[in-house]
Amino acid sequence: MSERTRDHVIWHVRCHPGTSPDVYRHVLDLTAEFIPVVQPLPPTALVARLRGASAVFSQDPWRLAQRFLLQAVATYGAPVHVGVADTWSTAVTASAHAGRSEVLHLPHHRAVEAFLRPLPVGALHGIGPARADSLRRFGLHTPGALAAMPEDVVCRLLGGKKGRLLRDRARGIDSCTITAHRMPGANSAHTAFRRDETDAASVGAAVLDLVVTVGERIRRRDQVARKVILTVGLVGGASVSRTWTLPAAFGHTEGLLSAAYRILDGMAIQRAGSGGSS
């Protein structure tokens, strides 16, 4: 494998379902020690571009992925599956089929074609159950069959843009780029009352608005919450904060609101007096 090819290798790392947010962050940090270009895909995945990492560590992409996998398990108890390929979508599909070996490396385009061709069409990244059913009704049961279909026919079946995208992915072609960034550590929102507010209903309504805002932001970023923190500004400039640890990581508004109201009930705002909350 040439150095130029190595620079275009993509890892897709898939943590086991149920991995805690803290362990997921450790896996992100560990990946960054191996590869400088890492994009989180919350709640349990990430994608990374090697960009010279193999040369730095003097190991080919497969051995480097094995080293990363062993370190993730030994240090954080985080078993992962890694797909290694030359495009994002193929690496995602590969990580889902790594099996007991835990690393599936597709070192060249012939290997990519041989891997993709016989899979069920629904296994291809970007094809959900409804679209897979539609493709099967037209006799396209595998990515190989989709790749062999003329582009104009696929575009008529799936629509122009989506059809071209999925046909390209079935052929191991994907122009999707990786953007290195850090996952936000927290999501927050705040509001302020125009006067000192002691009415519990008014404070509760303000908390509802804040939780809806934060919940929508979490889901838009494909994140989950582990804790809810409520801070209330009191008369005189002081503030009080309370934290509620959720029983499981999630991002749905109802659960976040329940936690926020539990905190609020414990604060007895109607007696303490408030000037704002966040």
Cα–Cα distance for residue pair 187/179, rounded to 1 Å: 20
What is the strand order of the sheet 191-197 is part of? 191-197, 274-277, 225-233, 239-250
Three-state DSSP class for residue 45 = strand
Alpha carbon distances (Å) from 185 to 41, 182, 189: 14, 8, 14
First to last CA, the chain: 53
Which residue is associated with the tokens 């804790």?
227
Which carries the bigger pLDDT value, residue 3 or residue 190? 190
- What are the pLDDT digits (tens) for 22-57? 898 899 989 988 887 899 998 899 999 887 676 767
Query: Which pLDDT score is estimated for 221?
Result: 65
29's CB contacts (< 8 A; 6+ apart) are none
- Residue 216 φ then ψ, to 5°: -65, -40
- The gap from C-alpha 1 to its chain's centroid, in whole angstroms, comes to 30
The 10s digit of each residue's pLDDT in 85-138 is: 999 999 999 999 999 999 999 999 999 999 999 999 999 999 989 899 999 999
- What's the token pair of residue 226? 């582990």
Return the number of other C-beta atoms located less than 10 Å from residue 67's C-beta.
13
Contact 67, 59 (CB under 8 A): yes
- The 3-state DSSP class for residue 143 equals helix
